[in-house]
Amino acid sequence: MASFKFLALAVILCTATFNLSADAADVSYDARALTIDGQRRIIISGSIHYPRSTPEMWPSLIKKAKEGGLNAIETYVFWNAHEPLYRQYDFSGNLDLLRFLKVIQDEGLYAILRIGPYVVLNGTMGFPVWLNNIPDMTFRTQNDAFMYQMKNFTTLIVDKVKEAKLFASEGGPIILAQIENEYGNVIGSYGNDGKSYMYWCANFAETLGIGVPWIMCQESDAPLSMINTCNGWYCDQFSPNQNSPKMWTENWSGWYKNWGGKDPHRTPEDLAFAVARFFQYGGTLQNYYMYHGGTNFGRTAGGPYITTSYDYDAPSMNMPKWGHLKKLHSLIISMEKILTYGTATSKDYGGMMSSTVFEYNGTRVCFLGNANNRDAIRIDFEGKSYTTPAWSVSILPDCANVVYNTAEVNTQTSVMAKKLPVEAAPKRHYDLEWLWRSEHIEHLKTSVENSGPLKGVTYANQLLDQKLVANDTSDYLWYMTSVDVNEDDPIWGEEVTVSVQCDCHILHVFFNGKQIGSKWVTNGQYNFLFEKSAKLKLGTNTLSLLSVTVGLQNYGAYFDKAKNGILGPVKLVAPNSLEKDLTSNKWAYKVGLNGMERRLQEVDPKNKGQWHPNVPFDRMFVWYKTTFKTPKGEDSVVLDLLGLGKGTAWVNGQDIGRYWPSFEADNNGCVSFCDYRGAYTGSKCLTNCGKSSQRWYHVPRSFLNDEDNTLVLFEEFGGNPAFISVQTVTMKSAFAHAYEGNSLELSCQGRVISKVKFASFGNGTYGSLVKGSCNSPNSLSVVKKACLGKESCSIDASERTFGHIACDAPMKNLAVEVEC
């Protein structure tokens, strides 16, 4: 079991590695590791994406990462966010890349900058949408138009970072930069042009002269001037190219979630197993993707259908994952010299059991790895017998004593709760007073042929792709046309079927000013046929189609060629099978919502008189507005939007993202107990079946005023705002386990321990809160004395503390649960 004298030493050594100076550093690499000023280094990094949090949050997030044993922070650079419109750049607020990098430097950590500039599943389309609308454009291949724009943006970023002296070669924190992103997954689809483009990327990157190495992830035949790296659940078997160190740029700490999806979870045991095994087999740099997930504010969620929350089951806000990995990081860093300079000797014992011994200058460290997903395995190793649990790695820093095993979690599990603020209790929610107004759609009432010019409307005698027309300035695009019918028309009759072939996410259909139906994707197939009956009238009939996107496709070969919107055919079909094909009609296009044009989402006194009381419920296309008080304290603030359909929310004019709480996950595939053993995938260990795929929405405290705040909602599907509440996220309880000979530590993170719910020192099953056949009668009293009324407590799990008990178990353990 773990010996804390080793872990304490590990923490000291780990901390000592974080003292970065402002002096220029020589960053290079050899076949074993990244080198900094000539010394091989172990890098343990975590992804924190600056646009998914706020500048006010960055210092605490990065400090938490450092406390968790990381010595580097990794981030993408988001082209779609920084250049949303052609040559219109934005580096303000949570897009202040340089400020983010300086916060990393201030905390004494290294940075890994993945310039790309393509980002997978991150942001709408992974690129600015305007890029797609340039003539003769094809993304990510030997295409002059694309390479010109990519070169322009990448050079812009590098120049900004150089000017701020943020590369390590200038005294900054950046020790690695990335060009392109997972291109090896699609390169085959582009043939020789793909290979030419990859080599162009490498050559172009080299010309930028940043003074630190470049990496290419998931690119097995990357040019030798690039370090090729691995992305995946497990990278212990990854073999880099000649003379490149073994690096893991994306260790997926969980998985993303789609609207209608369940909550994915990757256990701390499995994640620690993957990390330890990577270092056992010669890895020297690994990065968690993600370490802090965050929020897709505004319309930044990609996909399609990726939720506003980008939680990713990331370690930063997840206990015991954070604490379990912290101990592993400290131990790995403490062995840095031996792991990077030592000679490694591995032995296979059969049954997926192995040992690896690293030796350097007479000092040795050892790993015992069991990749069997069912059984613990007992082996004789250097004259002693060791049992390694299934799917785990034991680390012996002196090759004699097991200090850490990835399957034995003895750090605290924190149970968080969302509660009404103290000032709102005992009410179930705030007494929110709502106002409303409808989303006026005046332009739907007018014939296209006779309307004359309409504000913000463009025309074409064909159906156009939504990306081309909307240019990612809104989720909403109106397609409007009209058809004249007289008594002699063969299609004249009381009813026709409106038939729309749609490459849409969501479609709302209006005929003669009245909504006749809506349809949206629920199965991941983003095309469908809409059919609904409607009554014709003599004269002019209007048809208005509202196509709604929920993030654009941003992955796969030629994803930029994916269709979006209404591309037809669009027909009126009579019962006698006669039809009018409207596909080549004159179509009017209007981007966005009328309420957005009027800036209803903003805190603007001019809009005060446009709102009404007596709020309607379950009505589509409605704007709601209310005010609420800022909750006291520093706990995170969330909106509970259960009861609403789908739409967008703004707090004090800040767009907190799309909401869709009415989209529930199905009832299949969830588990009450997650077995960490065996290879993880995003469909393993799911929870939240049959519930809203996202009910709560984060409101950063920097978005809030000191007292009163304005909440504005655009409700697209219809819902009831009466159930909405503002809540805070607090620690409800905590529990932990420790084997005999170790210390059990608990903390209420700023609150006090108010109650001991469970305590047992004995032979209970490790990991459970159930007493075994024997346990110390002093368990509860000892824990109460040590913990009650305190913010944190530490208890020695031993008979010295709890008294002698006669148990047959080879190793007793302590289990404690407390309320905060």
Chain length of the chain? 820
CA dihedral (659, 662, 668, 674) in degrees, to 10, reads 40
DSSP 708-759: EEEEEEEESS---GGG-EEEEEEEEEEEEEEETTSEEEEE-TTS---EEEEE
Answer yes or no: 716 catalytic.
no
Q: Rounded to the nearest 5 degrees, what angle is found at the Cα of 352, between the Cα atoms of 351 and 356?
A: 125
Residue 753: partners with Cβ closer than 8 Å, 6 or more residues away: 746, 787, 788, 789, 790, 791, 792, 793, 818, 819, 820
Burial call 439-462: b when 16+ CB within 10 Å, e when fewer: bebebbebbbeeeeeeeeeeeeee
* Active-site pick, 219, 250, 336, 817: 250
Beta carbons within 10 angstroms of residue 232's beta carbon: 15
Residue 489: partners with Cβ closer than 8 Å, 6 or more residues away: none
Residue 393: partners with Cβ closer than 8 Å, 6 or more residues away: 272, 273, 276, 277, 280, 367, 368, 369, 370, 405, 406
Q: With residue 812 as reference, give the H or E element that holds it.
A: none
CA distances from 213 to 44, 154, 227, 240 (A): 17, 16, 8, 15
Q: Rounded to the nearest 5 degrees, what angle is found at the Cα of 623, between the Cα atoms of 619 and 626?
A: 115
Tell me if 353 sits within 8 A of 370, measured CB to CB: yes
How far is Cα 229 from Cα 220, in angstroms, rounded to an integer?
Answer: 8
Which of 89, 80, 77, 90 is CA-nearest to residue 50?
77
Answer yes or no: 791 catalytic.
no
* Active-site pick, 83, 107, 180, 182: 182
Beta carbons within 10 angstroms of residue 187's beta carbon: 22
Burial of 547 (0-12, 13-18, 19+ CB in 10 A): buried
Which value, in Å, is the radius of gyration of the alpha carbons in the chain?
29
How far is Cα 139 from Cα 130, in angstroms, rounded to an integer?
Answer: 12
Catalytic residues, which ones? 182, 250
